Amino acid sequence: GAGVSQSPRYKVTKRGQDVALRCDPISGHVSLYWYRQALGQGPEFLTYFNYEAQQDKSGLPNDRFSAERPEGSISTLTIQRTEQRDSAMYRCASSLDSGLGSSYEQYFGPGTRLTVT
């Protein structure tokens, strides 16, 4: 079946503009995660959802960042008033289940490379 998809794959925006990044998880996957990866670093956690409920948003850097998953499937990560320091690869992942007894295997999408000029 199809893997995790993300759009757009590349986004160039001017400082101060808002951007919306989309993630479509593997069908049937309960949990959805957002990570940010700077060049030469490992991904860093931003937030995650079980179904439509946002379980943890402790990794969101500030209140310009928000995420939603209104119907428990597709998710959108929104960055308002973008700044140059927001430039990075934004990765989405999904997993089949969550909680105790879960396999915790997260499958990643190809990422959205965001460049803020």
Partner 1 sequence: AQTVTQSQPEMSVQEAETVTLSCTYDTSESDYYLFWYKQPPSRQMILVIRQEAYKQQNATENRFSVNFQKAAKSFSLKISDSQLGDAAMYFCAYISNFGNEKLTFGTGTRLTIIP
Q: Which residues bind partner 1 (CB under 8 A)?
A: 31, 33, 35, 40-45, 48, 55-56, 59, 89, 91, 93, 98-100, 102-108, 110-111
Q: Which one, 18 or 105, has the nearer CB to partner 1?
A: 105
Helix (H, G, I), strand (E, B) or coil at 44: strand
Q: Which one, 25 or 43, has the nearer CB to partner 1?
A: 43
Q: Which one, 2 or 100, has the nearer CB to partner 1?
A: 100
Closest distance to partner 1 from the beta carbon of 16 (Å): 27
Note whether 31 and 48 are within 8 A (CB). yes
Closest distance to partner 1 from the beta carbon of 9 (Å): 10
Closest distance to partner 1 from the beta carbon of 20 (Å): 21
Residue with tokens 């969101």: 60
Q: Which one, 80 or 97, has the nearer CB to partner 1?
A: 97
For 43-57, give one letter per residue: b (16+ CB within 10 A) or e. Answer: beebbbbbeeebeee
Note whether 82 and 18 are within 8 A (CB). yes
Closest distance to partner 1 from the beta carbon of 41 (Å): 6
